[in-house]
Amino acid sequence: MTARSDVTRREFVQTASAAGAALVIGFHLPPPRGRAAGVEEALPPFAPNAWLRIGADDTVLVEVDRSEMGQGVTTSLPMLLAEELEADWTTVRIEFAPADKAYFNPLFGAQGTGGSTSIRAAYTPLRQAGAAAREMLIAAAAQTWGVDRAQCRAAQGSVIHAASGRRLRYGALVAAAAALPVPAPADISLKDPKDWKILGKRTHRLDTPLKIDGRAQFGMDVQVPGLLVAVVARCPVFGGTVKSFDATRAKAVPGVRHVVQIASGIAVVADGYWPARKGREALVVQWDEGANAAVSSAGISELLAQRAGQAGAVARHDGDPVAALAGAATTMEADYETPFLAHVTMEPMNCTAHVRPDGGGVDIWAPTQFQTGAQGMGAQIGGVTPDKVRVHTTYLGGGFGRRFELDFILEALQASKAAGAPVKVIWSREDDIQHSQYRPVSLHRFRVGLDAGGALVAWTHRLVAPSIMARVFPNAVRDGLDAEATEGGREMPYAIPNVHVDYVLTDTGVPVGFWRSVNNSFNAFAVESFVDELAAAAKKDPVEYRRALLAKQPRHLGVLELAAAKGGWGTPAPTGRARGVAVWKSFDSYIAQVVEVSIDQGVVTVHRVVCAVDCGQVVNPDTVEAQMQSAIVFGLSAALRGAITIYRGSVQQSNFNDYEPLRMREMPVVEVHIVPSSAAPGGVGEPGTPPIAPAVCNAIFALTGKRIRKLPIGTVA
């Protein structure tokens, strides 16, 4: 099943990007830039590959081909290259790469950022790119001095001749190195981790100064000559369309230039945001609400429960669970339920586009996670080949999977084409919450069997949920199975001889999309909460119970034991508090979390989270720690009070007053402990989220004896 899941993810991106035909043709690398960090150079830079430019002024410019949404790729990716290059880290500068086939994510087959793949995909290619450039610079220095290459070495942005002590900075070698052939990967060697000077070390982020002084450009910051601003009136009911509209009052608003119908609704285009918004408020629209006007959260819950009684598409089947259940001394059953969730990125959706007439090309300035898709869509709307579409990736004020979507980019392209000018589409917070693609709602039905000694002999898990892949790429769902939907659940690591996991695809009419940790978020809550129930029924300590079932899973066991030790498991919790635990693998990383909670008048407070992470080889410990902290607060907000509810086909929440994130005063102390590992790198952007909800709910049970089987937690009676 794992192989199938990998294929569908790749196929999804390739197919979704086909909005513009033949995306794989017409790509080209931009000509080498004659600058680095704004400094004009007398000589062209040394550019041995798509990621690296070394200038005559010694500046090392790294083209960052992944989107920076706070996860730290503008530092960790340059670290990979700089380590092998033997660069002077103080000379490293960054720039976002253009959309180009050269920057395709090999795990996606397209240029995009998601699935916690940035380091995993770049780990070897960027190191090889740095090593190749290093070897070329050493060879150039050896030729310059007329000495044997073996007598030279690179260090701190220079090549040194060991015998004479002579030294040449990289900037002095750019012309000579550029004339040499680029060595093949097979002809270069990568450094042994014991010799690393940059990788594995805590490294300050390169983008921090840019964000402090305002030089970092986010999508909202984009300004181009002749720019107009648009807001879009969208049907409040999912899937609804425009029946008719009257733009008379909207056009009377000062500053409004155009009112045009686009795919998602009516775009009001004006000189600025407020005229556009006032124009939208004045707009008169009649909507055809369609079939989803009757959809409600209550009805969706009833539908999930009904569907849970039906057999699903099989995701995993080990042994003979039916016979094992029939012969079990005891059986236990439980249902777990999770709601829809929104992303609520700090920066709402926005995009600036300029579709020039008569095939004059397209420019897109966007905080996007999916450059290939944006380029393909620009080609389609602009009627040009992809090489005529320039995608300028800005910094992203949060992504979480929401900015892998192309809806906000399509709106800007269509509005620009209609207006004949560059147009920035801006979503309000209300637009963002009420017109998104949400983390799927889900219901999990468990039934397990135990023998006379209390040992688990059978485990069945039925997942009922909408399919993200069915929305974005229907061909990924085969015979009713979305393999992605069961991620984590089908790989449940506990040693149980008879296991059955199936999936009942259930469309609710509500659009669903990628959300931080995707399906792992609800599968972890259900599985790890139910395992805790089994431990309680067996009258065993939750850590000891898991430890026995994970005896053959050393990396799961490693993080579990580390989190338990650092979290004080087995010692009394502070007065009025209790501890809970959960362990989960996702995106090739292993996470265990121990939490301490208290409850006052029904309000749950999480005081402390101890997180152990085994993400394989670590590039930047600061990034790992920050991403665990970020994922924990993201997951806590969702677990404690996150829920998107539907009434008559519309989202009832609108802003942070009724879709409330965790406040700073509510943030627990978070301790992150990294397991030393030489394994291949795993992801870190997403895997910290799945364990937090079950760990908190398990702690609530330890404190109160009440089991939380439906999220959000809310108040505990």
Average pLDDT over residues 201-206: 98
- The answer to whether the CB of 637 falls within 8 A of the CB of 666 is no
pLDDT, the chain, mean:
94
* Res. 211: pLDDT tops 80: yes
Q: Which pLDDT score is estimated for 44?
A: 85
Q: Which pLDDT score is estimated for 27?
A: 28
In tens, the pLDDT along 297-308 reads 999 999 999 999
pTM score, whole prediction: 0.93
* Res. 88: pLDDT tops 70: yes
* Res. 22: pLDDT tops 80: no
Q: What percent of the chain has pLDDT over 70?
A: 94
Distances (CA, A) of 120 to 86, 295, 358, 393: 21, 41, 42, 21
Average pLDDT over residues 658-679: 97
* Res. 238: pLDDT tops 70: yes
Average pLDDT over residues 413-421: 98
Q: Which pLDDT score is estimated for 717?
A: 86
| Cα separation, 157 vs 56, whole angstroms | 12
**Helix-strand-coil percent breakdown of the chain, rounded to 5?**
35, 25, 40
| Cα separation, 55 vs 68, whole angstroms | 24
In tens, the pLDDT along 102-145 reads 999 999 899 999 999 999 999 999 999 999 999 999 999 999 99
Band (pLDDT 50/70/90 cuts) for residue 1 is: very low
Band (pLDDT 50/70/90 cuts) for residue 362 is: very high
Assign residue 226 a region (left: φ > 0; alpha: ψ between -120 and 50; beta: otherwise): left
Q: Which pLDDT score is estimated for 390?
A: 98
| Cα separation, 305 vs 323, whole angstroms | 25
Q: Which pLDDT score is estimated for 28?
A: 33
| Cα separation, 304 vs 31, whole angstroms | 55
Distinct helix (H) and strand (E) counts, the chain: 18, 29
Q: Which pLDDT score is estimated for 145?
A: 98
In tens, the pLDDT along 585-629 reads 999 999 999 999 999 999 999 999 999 999 999 999 999 999 999
In this structure, what DSSP letter does residue 395 have? Answer: B
Band (pLDDT 50/70/90 cuts) for residue 42 is: low
- The answer to whether the CB of 262 falls within 8 A of the CB of 353 is no
Q: Which pLDDT score is estimated for 39?
A: 39
- 179 burial via Cβ count (<10 Å: 0-12, 13-18, 19+): exposed
Q: Which pLDDT score is estimated for 2?
A: 34
* Res. 36: pLDDT tops 60: no
| Cα separation, 97 vs 28, whole angstroms | 12
Cβ count within 10 A of residue 538 = 15
In tens, the pLDDT along 504-531 reads 999 999 999 999 999 999 999 999 999 9
* Res. 254: pLDDT tops 80: yes
Q: Which pLDDT score is estimated for 40?
A: 41
Distances (CA, A) of 159 to 121, 162, 167, 674, 685: 29, 9, 6, 35, 36
In this structure, what DSSP letter does residue 151 have? Answer: G
The closest alpha carbon to 159, from 185, 192, 133, belongs to 133
Q: Which pLDDT score is estimated for 43?
A: 72
The closest alpha carbon to 269, from 348, 261, 436, belongs to 261
In tens, the pLDDT along 149-193 reads 999 999 999 999 999 999 999 999 999 999 999 999 999 999 999
**Segments in 506-665 forming alpha helices (H):** 520-537, 542-549, 554-566, 621-641
Q: Which pLDDT score is estimated for 41?
A: 44
Average pLDDT over residues 676-686: 97
Q: Which pLDDT score is estimated for 574?
A: 97
In tens, the pLDDT along 437-466 reads 999 999 999 999 999 999 999 999 999 999
Average pLDDT over residues 11-29: 32
* Res. 11: pLDDT tops 50: no
Q: Which pLDDT score is estimated for 618?
A: 98
Q: Which pLDDT score is estimated for 473?
A: 87
* 33-42, 159-168, 211-220: the lowest-pLDDT one: 33-42
Q: Which pLDDT score is estimated for 76?
A: 98
Average pLDDT over residues 69-82: 98
Average pLDDT over residues 55-62: 97
* Res. 324: pLDDT tops 60: yes
Residues 6+ apart with CB under 8 A from 612: 558, 559, 560, 562, 563, 566, 591, 592, 593, 673, 674, 675
Q: Which pLDDT score is estimated for 510?
A: 98
Band (pLDDT 50/70/90 cuts) for residue 37 is: very low
* Res. 377: pLDDT tops 70: yes
